């Protein structure tokens, strides 16, 4: 079976693409929680029998809703959008959160989460792609090592509430972010012509 889409992960030491490119690698992290919102949208109703697990470990059924897949990533919010972490636990399809997410702040092992940005980066005849990126500033006083990255988004529960789920998760080579420096992470999501 051929994949329906592609995922790439890029990291820059600095702000956005003006920073130094640290790595550019294929992502391998689309999780089970990524597929179930599609099911809810396609059937136009609740996913009875197909449960999600939110980032708190709670199972629920989803339903069709306009906010499914919404990953706004507002400034200071370390529970939505592109999230970074400090653990290298292997990825499984059943993952529902990062193993050791880094919280927002300027204390020990914290980063300042910036606004998540989105844009279409390619519209070639054989591949359409969009990018989402977020900057993290280290004002902790120490170097912070980042080992994982994930994408947290909303899914609407059949109980009429928004739940936050982990849609994608990648582990990567250690990135040392010195105090006073900015790390920018970027996911590229592409849809190729098959």
Give the whole-number percent of the chain exceeding pLDDT 70.
77
Alpha carbon 27 to its chain's center: 11
CA angle 69, 71, 72 (to 5 degrees): 140
Q: From CA 104, how far away is CA 162, in angstroms rounded?
A: 22
- Rounded to the nearest integer, the mean pLDDT of the chain is 82
Residue range 86-94: mean pLDDT, rounded: 87
172, part of any domain: yes
| pLDDT of 45 strictly over 70 | no
Is residue 106 included in any domain, yes or no? yes
How large is the average pLDDT for residues 25-53? Answer: 66
Q: Which domain holds residue 179?
A: 6-192
Q: Which of 53, 5, 37, 30 is nearest to 167 (CA)?
A: 30
What is the DSSP secondary-structure string of 80-131? SEEEEES--PPP-TT--S-SSBPPBSSSTT-BEE---EEEEEEEETTEEEEE
Is residue 19's pLDDT more than 90? no
Q: Is residue 61 part of a domain?
A: yes
- Whether 65 is covered by a domain: the verdict is yes
Task: Choose the weakest-confidence range: 3-7, 14-18, 74-78, 189-193.
Answer: 3-7
What is the pLDDT confidence band of residue 99, given thresholds at 50, 70 and 90?
A: very high
DSSP notation for 123-158: EETTEEEEEEEEEEE--SSS-EEEEEEEEEEEEEET
Q: Give residue 1's pLDDT.
A: 44
Q: What's the whole-number mean pLDDT along residues 66-75?
A: 74
Q: What is the pLDDT of residue 173?
A: 87
Q: What pLDDT score does 97 carry?
A: 92
Show the DSSP H helices in the chain as ranges: 32-43
More confident residue, 33 or 168: 168
The answer to whether residue 1 sits within a structural domain is: no
**By C-alpha distance, which of 116, 98, 105, 107 is closest to 184?**
116
Q: What is the helix (H) or strand (E) element at residue 20, kind and residue range?
A: strand 20-26
Number of separate domains in the chain:
1
170 belongs to a structural domain: yes
Q: What is the pLDDT of residue 82?
A: 93
Indicate whether 85 pLDDT > 70.
Answer: yes
Between these two residues, 75 and 53, which has the higher pLDDT value?
Answer: 75
The model's pTM is 0.82
Confidence of residue 67 (pLDDT cuts 50, 70, 90): low
Average pLDDT over residues 76-81: 90
């Amino acid at each position: 079976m051929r994949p329906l889409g592609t995922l790439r992960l890029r990291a820059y030491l600095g702000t956005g693409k003006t920073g130094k490119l640290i790595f550019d690698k294929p992502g391998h992290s689309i999780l089970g929680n990524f597929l179930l919102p599609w099911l809810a949208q396609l059937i136009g109703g609740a996913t009875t029998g197909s449960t999600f697990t939110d980032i708190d470990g709670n199972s629920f059924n989803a339903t069709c809703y306009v906010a499914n897949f919404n990953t706004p990533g507002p400034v200071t919010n370390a529970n939505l959008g592109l999230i970074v972490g400090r653990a290298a636990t292997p990825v499984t399809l059943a993952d529902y959160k990062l193993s050791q997410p880094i919280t927002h702040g300027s204390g020990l092992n914290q980063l300042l989460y910036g606004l998540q940005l989105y844009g279409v980066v390619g519209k070639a005849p054989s591949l359409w792609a969009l990018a989402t990126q977020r900057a993290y500033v280290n004002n902790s006083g120490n170097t912070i090592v980042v080992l994982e990255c994930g994408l947290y988004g909303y899914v609407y529960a059949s109980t009429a509430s928004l739940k936050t789920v982990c849609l994608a998760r990648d582990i990567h080579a250690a990135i040392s972010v010195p105090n006073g420096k900015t790390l920018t992470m970027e996911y590229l999501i592409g849809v190729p012509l098959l």
